[in-house]
Amino acid sequence: MKIGVPKEATAGDRRVALVPDAAAMLIKNGMEVLIESGAGTGAEYLDESYREKGAKILAGRDEVFAQADVILQINLLGMTPDTQKAELSRLRKDQTAIGFLDPLGNPQLCEDLAARGVTSFAFDLLPRITRAQSMDSLSSMAMVAGYKAVLIAAEALPRFFPMFMTAAGTISPAKVFVIGAGVAGLQAIATAKRLGAVVYAYDIRPAVKQEVESLGGKFVELPLETASTADSGGYARAMDEAFYTKQRELMHSVISKSDVVITTASVPGKKAPVLVTKSMVEAMAPGSVVVDLAAEQGGNCELTKPGERVVHKAVTVIGPINVPSTVPYHASQMYARNVVTFLMNCCKSGKMELNLDDEIVRETLITRNGDVVHPRVRERLGKPPLPIVERKEN
């Protein structure tokens, strides 16, 4: 089986889906690895490093797509309509593609893949079960984003994060408020704490309080009904507008006293909820900073503009996009380990074997045999459910 790794299609993305050590693991298991020349350069993985591990370097992108049985990318098809159209034209019938696809947010793209006869897997829908933790690239990228969000805030804040005892007097530590205590939020809490800030955090799932406190954060408890705020997979549910309105009212005073607010709240396949309003930003002290990690999903802050820095009433609102790409070396390393583990789970006797009794395979499989096969994606497309016998076919 030939594994192809092209350069990431999204302009400016410096990551690569497979690093040299990960390529060596696949080769050891009987696979052939084909790397587009320069695919790893942005993450500091040079062509020669891949050659040393036994991978083959191909000069052109078209060669990789033409020869590979399986295409590995981080963002399948890229993140813009132009790149998606170009990448689709390179894929062929019965080829397998693996990566992030945003299948719930962009189900039409899944239908386009099905029309090409491509078998596709989306890491976006990997089940959050113990056995899948070593494959959870969504959490890996979220961890990178949470870490980097704090550094972005520290660079923009005109104050120190830690407390200092100086001859000029005592300098108080910055107050950082993290909204959302998933993987990104927890990493942001840990990083801000390491830098010496006083850290507060809030999440609609009360079960995360212990995790927040274990990292040195102070959990902010709001008098809200939270019994149905998480789904069976551990992801936050979208709540109704009345819930968010009450939540915003209660958070107003916390935000007004914060030097930095980092927002991480997103719901798969839906626009990010607005948690920080214009009036909340206006209540913050001059020089304060908001870093909105949900910018790509529309933003948790009312003033967020994806990819831009907005200064409103002397408060800086930053909406970074593709944050993991700004730490490409380790982001690529983590993703590569996730994808290799996933491949090893799916590959038996040197080829892909789709055991649909395996929850990991079943929940990440999006298209197969010319059709969209994932139930939730079919629902988004208005398609009827597939017969049970077909969904369980091996």
Q: Among this protein's residues, is 128 annotated catalytic?
A: yes
Task: Find out whether 293 and 113 touch, Cβ atoms under 8 Å.
Answer: no
Q: Let me know if 133 is a catalytic residue.
A: yes
* Catalytically annotated residue among 67, 89, 92, 133: 133
Of the residues 47, 205, 235, 309, only one is catalytic, namely 235
Question: Distance between CA 119 and CA 117 in Å, rounded?
Answer: 7
Cα dihedral value 341, 346, 352, 357, nearest 10: -170
Residue carrying structure tokens 């060669």? 63
47 is catalytic: no
CA 189, CA 192: separation in Å to the nearest integer?
Answer: 5
| Residue tagged active-site, from 13, 136, 259, 292 | 136
- Cα 317 to Cα 301: distance, rounded to the nearest angstrom: 8
67 is catalytic: no
* Amino acid sitting at position 119: T
Q: Which of 51, 128, 194, 391 is catalytic?
A: 128
Reading the block at residue 29, the tokens are 């298991």
What's the chain's length in residues? Answer: 394
Residue bearing tokens 């962009």: 106
3 state SS of 367? strand
Which residue in 84, 139, 187, 333 is the catalytic one?
Answer: 139
- Told to judge if 50 belongs to the known catalytic residues of this protein, a careful annotator would answer no
Whether 79 contacts 69, CB under 8 Å = no
Task: Report the distance separating Cα 129 and Cα 361, nearest Å.
Answer: 13
Q: Which residues are catalytic?
A: 128, 133, 136, 139, 235
